[in-house]
Chains A and B, each alone.
Chain A
Amino acid sequence: MCLTHNFWGFFVPGLANGFLYALIALGYTLVYGVLQLINFAHSEVFMSGGFAGLFTLNWLIGKHHPAGMSSVGYVVIGCVAGAVGGGVVAYLLERVAYRPLRRRHAPKLAFLISAIGASYFLLNLAGKEFGRDSRPIAQPFTQTQTDPLFKIFGTGVSLYYAVIAVVAIIMLVMLDRLVNKTRLGQGIRAVAQDADTAGLMGVDINRVIAQTFIVGGLLGGAAGFLYGLGPANVSYTMGFTPGLKAFTAAVLGGIGNIRGAMLGGLLLGIIENLSVACISPSWVDVVSFFILVLVLLVRPTGILGERLGRSA
């Protein structure tokens, strides 16, 4: 009933959010796949991508004015900058917060504490260095980002949502290729299924783990840029809520399962936004985390199940 009126008007922004959740959720699920641990500092990887995109675009666009095809170029540059920022921070996290614990065969709880510590460290470092106020990214578009670009079922799809969808789909397809067709993907799947035996096959486990963090960081960092490009802007706390939501999405789809993270992200984004229509905007976060609790109670392995190392 609440959905009969303007369903698509709520669905489209939900879908766009869902793409962002999916990109972030993949970082959780990939790392969980190879280490069976939740990288709770991943929200800061996302935030790092936001700042990397912010600094790069604000520096570039400060000198030139985007027009026509150069808008596309700026978006690409922003995504690459965000991805690199996320990838670098994710790699450093692995080296500093996790690998030393692995070498000492630390218990799982130590990893969790280390993750939370690293998360707070990065959060506060960013707050101190980059300021406590949220900052907008210089817009690479000549038109206003909320102007509808085209219409689906009578609902205008804004330029911003279209950019998110296109970038996310490209990255998801690239990830799928990576996991299924490359030697790195083969290594990631082997480590996820049986790390000891992967080592016997000649897989350098530490190297694969580091590369998995980087891949997750690339996706999360690009998502951070896309998120910051929108009305939310970039701030040192920007990772907190989307990070938890994406974690929820990963659990919803089945943690460790790559397709699960994609599906969980899209579903969560859509459900969340439909709840805006049906309940109230202020209940969005309640709905999301209610879903998390519900999934954990009813089907802890998620929709697609916990399938470590399953080819995507």
Chain B
Amino acid sequence: MSVLLQLSDVQVRYGAIAALKGVTVEIGAGEIVALLGANGAGKTTTLRTISGQLHPHEGRIFFEGRRIDGLPAHEVVGLGIGHSPEGRRIFPRMSVLENLQMGAYRFGRARKDDLDRVFALFPRLLERRTQDGGTLSGGEQQMLAIGRALMSRPTVLLLDEPSMGLAPLLVQQIFDIIREINEQGTTVLLVEQNAVQALSIAHRGYVLETGSIVMSDAASSLLVDPRVRAAYLGEGAA
């Protein structure tokens, strides 16, 4: 397994507050890696640091062997890192189609086969393509956020809480699609509070706690680890 994305001892601060206290994570080509943790553990901060919205105070980030920490966000996406941000962040007054075209901004214009691929994954978006992003339901917005990130033809896709606020049936559907995207060849780094669902599709997982990685293992091992079950699945401490 070749390492595609590597964070090495990454530290991020918001003013005086340390949000990440030395995070080391490796993501291999073709993997789905789950990044788990409670609210405020630093999951979103990790993704935002990878995509260049935040810059590490210490440590390094490598993508395909190239150092990328310090690059601005608009250059990072050009390297092949797509990011579906926390809270979906759909452009509310652009249509579904325009939102997808924004995803392809780095190419100048959206390519038809990319659009076809997104519409094949999310037929609902095809039905709603002329509707304003702001008028979509939560589930549709999530589909659009993932589809928009795919439009940049990412090598690695960063997904921040894709199941947040969605009905259980829809959550299952979104996770099935994430697996499908991965099978089509895209590496996925998945941030989730929904640990069971995330670990059920992931190959490996990391657990973040107050800015530090406290566990990392194969997803199947984490799924049965009593500490994980106690902390994230609401079971009594073993």
Q: Does A1 contact B (CB under 8 A)?
A: no
B53 touches A199 (CB 8 A): yes
Q: Does B148 contact A (CB under 8 A)?
A: yes
Question: Known: A189-B94, A307-B93, A309-B93. Is A201-B103 also a contact (CB below 8 A)?
Answer: yes
> Which residues of B67-108 have CB atoms within 8 Å of chain A's CB atoms?
72-74, 77-78, 83, 85, 89, 91-94, 98, 101-103, 105-106, 108
Residues of A within 8 A of B77 (CB): 200-202
Of the candidates A205, A308, A309, A311, which one forms a contact with B74 in the assembled complex, judged by CB atoms under 8 Å apart? A205
Residues of A within 8 A of B102 (CB): 186, 190, 198, 201, 203
B91 touches A193 (CB 8 A): yes
Residues of B within 8 A of A202 (CB): 74, 77-78, 105-106, 152
Residues of A within 8 A of B98 (CB): 186
A197 touches B105 (CB 8 A): no
> Which residues of A274-312 have CB atoms within 8 Å of chain B's CB atoms?
307-311
Residues of B within 8 A of A307 (CB): 93
Residues of A within 8 A of B106 (CB): 201-202
Of the candidates B52, B72, B105, which one forms a contact with A201 in the assembled complex, judged by CB atoms under 8 Å apart? B105
Interface SS of chain A: helix, strand, loop or mixed?
helix
For the complex, give the distance between the alpha carbons of A194 and B98 in Å. 14
B91 touches A196 (CB 8 A): no
Q: Does A204 contact B (CB under 8 A)?
A: yes
A236: min CB distance to chain B, Å: 39
A309 touches B91 (CB 8 A): yes
For the complex, give the distance between the alpha carbons of A37 and B51 in Å. 27
For the complex, give the distance between the alpha carbons of A190 and B105 in Å. 10
Q: Does A102 contact B (CB under 8 A)?
A: no
Of listed A193, A200, A202, A311, residue having the most chain B CB within 10 A: A200
Question: Known: A187-B105, A193-B94, A309-B91. Is A201-B148 also a contact (CB below 8 A)?
Answer: yes
Of the candidates A186, A310, A311, which one forms a contact with B101 in the assembled complex, judged by CB atoms under 8 Å apart? A186
Residues of A within 8 A of B74 (CB): 199, 201-205
Q: Does A183 contact B (CB under 8 A)?
A: yes
> Per-residue 0/1 for B209-231: is the Cβ within 8 Å of any A Cβ (1 yes, 0 no)?
00000000000000000000000
B91 touches A200 (CB 8 A): no
Residues of B within 8 A of A190 (CB): 91, 94, 102, 105
> Per-residue 0/1 for B100-133: is the Cβ within 8 Å of any A Cβ (1 yes, 0 no)?
0111011011000000000000000000000000
Of the candidates A183, A194, A205, which one forms a contact with B91 in the assembled complex, judged by CB atoms under 8 Å apart? A194
For the complex, give the distance between the alpha carbons of A308 and B94 in Å. 11
> Per-residue 0/1 for B22-54: is the Cβ within 8 Å of any A Cβ (1 yes, 0 no)?
000000000000000000000000000001110
A158: min CB distance to chain B, Å: 40
> Which residues of A152-199 have CB atoms within 8 Å of chain B's CB atoms?
183, 186-187, 189-190, 193-194, 196-199
Beta-carbon nearest neighbor of B132 in chain A: A310
For the complex, give the distance between the alpha carbons of A40 and B198 in Å. 51
B78 touches A200 (CB 8 A): no
Beta-carbon nearest neighbor of B84 in chain A: A200
For the complex, give the distance between the alpha carbons of A270 and B89 in Å. 41
**In the complex, given contacts A200-B83, A202-B152, A309-B94, what are 7 additional A-B residue pairs having Cβ atoms less than 8 angstroms apart?**
A190-B94, A196-B73, A197-B85, A200-B85, A200-B89, A201-B103, A308-B93
Can you report 10 A-B residue pairs in the complex whose CB atoms are below 8 A from each other? A183-B105, A190-B91, A197-B89, A198-B102, A199-B52, A202-B74, A202-B78, A203-B105, A204-B74, A309-B93
Q: Please list the residues of chain B having a beta carbon within 8 angstroms of any beta carbon in chain A.
A: 51-53, 72-74, 77-78, 83, 85, 89, 91-94, 98, 101-103, 105-106, 108-109, 148, 152
5 A-B pairs closest in CB distance: A202-B106, A199-B73, A197-B89, A202-B77, A202-B105
